[in-house]
Structure 1
Amino acid sequence: MSFAKAYLGLRSAGVRALVIATCGVTLAGCDTLSSLNPFDKSETYKPEIVSDLPGETLYNDGLARIQKKDYEGAAKKFSTLEKQNPYSEWSRKALIMEAYANYEGGLYEESITAAKRYLQQHPSTPDAAYAQYLMASSYYDQIPDITRDQEKSERAILALQELVQRYPNSEYVADAKKKIQVASDQLAGKELEVGRFYLQKRNYSGAINRFRSVVSRYQTTRHVEEALERLTEAYMAMGIVNEAQTAAAVLGHNFPDSPWYKDAHALLTKGGVEPREDSGSWISKAFRGVPQVGQKTG
């Protein structure tokens, strides 16, 4: 590295002064330093002192870049501000804005990182709920279709649930609950997809495990009706008639107008039986006291 490049890299005014005092006001006495890098011999650099910008200037610059939708540039400004003013109010403000700018710019992993740092450093501040919301939304916006791995869906739900639990009076809670429902629906859809595959392959035990997951964990999603009908199919195929009858009965009780109930009822009738709920079945126990999709609570 040439002396000029090293000079520009020095941020401390004290260090700069020391270098100037050693080498003189001009660079005449620093030929030895500049010759350390043989690749720079033919280049000429004009050193200039770059002073750290005041916090307010950097912050306003970041805001201006957000208005211009230069989110990446804004995030860099806020990052610089945070590093130059550690443990200050400017640092706190810059960190939450860095998370926001990265989120708006679609840099979700960077937004998650900044939001997590904010929560670690400032867990009790008014913006903590917003940091949690930005982190959860960053996971949520990365949810893929049901044919792919649903890790982001699971992380989104956990982050959103933490928001609801830790900040119950936050203005972001209502939207968080809606997002939880959508993400849960996505996970239920994935379980159904795998369950249908197993059912087609006549791997009835594997299929039942997947459908059971939907019924037990995602009862308030739109997929629970199909899961109960598929359980009826799988149990009938295995000759476990009692559970098949219970699945159909629970389906009919909770969703009497569902086309899936009509299919389940027809399947049982074809087998010479009718829907009948066994209160001791895991299916019956899973549905006790649980509100269904569209059912109002409280």
Structure 2
Amino acid sequence: MKKIVPLLLACSFALLSACSSNELHDSYAKYQDQTASDLYHSSKKDLLADHPNRAIKKLEALNALYPFGAYAEDGLINLVYAYYENDDADAALAAADRYLRLYPRGNYSDYAYYMKGIIAFKQGFSWIQRRVGVNPAPRDLTNLKSAYLSFNELVTGFPTSHYVPDAIARMRYIRNLFAEKEIGIATFYYDKKAYVAAANRASDVVVHYNRSPWVIPALTIMVKSYRKLGMTEMADNTLKIFQASYPNSKRLKRLMR
């Protein structure tokens, strides 16, 4: 009896595998007579003709029927783009992640990271924000943080990629939004007379976002907060840094009065 159980299990696994295989082929039955080359080149024509939905079906069939073929890598990266063009961000991100797992140093790894960044960047702005130009800084920046990390992977891992300049520009924009959000929080604390918290938040901007345009407001909040706290030496030292870095600032002149 002990020998029968493994045999039954083996038969069960074989049956499940066969069923799974049959279901897979049933799902793509209409494409089974097409070669990997046929599916790949036909899907490219669909993408060029702005028919991503058609391309997706063929690329999914290519991925399922020929997962290790000559067109597997190219087909998978095209699937990322097709999903993106079809406004299916979650599927596009999943496809990009799958590509990077299968081909961590593949021919299109830089593009996969770039697309992950672009998709998350786009998700960082709601439809209404994009439509009317609402500033996203006061809102949740989780998606933009994800975009920043993906762009950073691209920039550090593939510095010669032609996607790098655009990625760097978007990273700079995201960093400025992070800094602006911190200034908004620091201002809130200052208005509530929570001067220690205000100074700490503003200091984070000076330390972590020192190339952003929000350093001047940060230094201003720091000086004013230290003065409110009676921390004269800290206020004076911060003012000296302000003077050395931004001698022509109007905010500086107001603090000097």
TM class by shorter chain equals 0.7 to 0.9
For residue 115 of structure 1, what is the aligned residue in structure 2?
A: 96
Q: CA deviation at 1:12?
A: 5.2
Cα distance in 1, alignment partners of residues 252 and 86 from structure 2: 46
Between the two proteins, the alignment pairs up a number of residues equal to 224
The corresponding residue for 2:58 is 77
Q: Give unmatched runs, 5+ long, in structure 1.
A: 1-5, 14-48, 267-298
Report the 3-state secondary structure (helix = DSSP H, G, I; strand = E; otherwise coil) of the residue aligned with 2:71: helix
Among candidates 133, 136, 145, match of residue 154 of structure 1: 145
| Mapping 1:67-146, distance limit 5 Å | 67-144=48-125, 145-146=136-137
Q: TM-score, normalised by structure 2?
A: 0.80
- When Rg is computed on C-alpha atoms for both structures, the one with the higher figure is 1
**Cα separation, partners in 2 of 1:72 and 1:146, compared to 1, 3 Å:** farther
SS at match of 2:106: coil
Query: Contact conserved, 1:188 with 1:214, CA < 8 A, in 2?
Result: yes
Question: Counterpart of 2:67 in 1: which secondary structure?
Answer: coil
Bigger helix fraction: 2
Which of the residues 157, 162, 167 maps onto 1:166?
157
Moved over 4 A (4+): 9-13
* CA distance 1:70–1:210, shift in 2 (3 Å): farther
Task: Please give the alpha-carbon distance, in whole angstroms, between the structure 2 residues aligned to 1:264 and 1:111.
Answer: 51
Which residue of the partner structure matches residue 40 of structure 1?
A: none
1:157/1:10 CA distance change after superposition, 3 Å: closer
Is the contact made by 1:188 and 1:221 (CA closer than 8 Å) also made in structure 2?
yes
CA distance in 1, matches of 2:148, 2:193: 32
Partners in 1 of 2:107 and 2:24 — Cα distance? 33
Residue aligning to 1:204: 195
Q: 1:191 to 1:167 in 2, by over 3 A?
A: same
TM-score of the superposition, structure 1-length normalised?
0.69
**1:122-181 C-alpha deviation (Å, 9 max, x unpaired):** 112221111111112212222240121111122122111111111112112222211111
1:187 counterpart (178, 188, 202): 178
Local SS of the residue matching 1:202: coil
Looking at structure 2, the residues matched to 117 and 213 of structure 1 have their Cα atoms a distance apart, in angstroms, of: 36
Structure 2 alignment gaps of length 5 or more: 1-18, 126-135
Identity of aligned residues (%): 26
For 1:116 and 1:66, locate their aligned partners in 2 and report how far apart those are by CA, in whole Å: 21
Amino acid in the other structure paired with 1:95 = L
Rate the CA distance shift 1:108–1:253 in 2: closer, same or farther, 3 A.
farther
Mapped partners of 2:253, 2:53: distance in 1: 54
Rounded Cα–Cα distance in structure 1 between residues aligned with 2:82 and 2:74: 12
The superposition leaves residues 79-127 of structure 1 with CA deviations (integer Å, 9 ceiling, x where unpaired) of: 2211111122222111101111223343333222111111110112221
For 2:209, the equivalent position in structure 1 comes to 218
Within 2, Cα distance between the matches of 1:195 and 1:127? Answer: 42
Partner-residue secondary structure (3-state), 1:89: coil
CA RMSD of aligned residues (A): 2.1
Distance of 1:115 and 1:140 partners within structure 2: 15
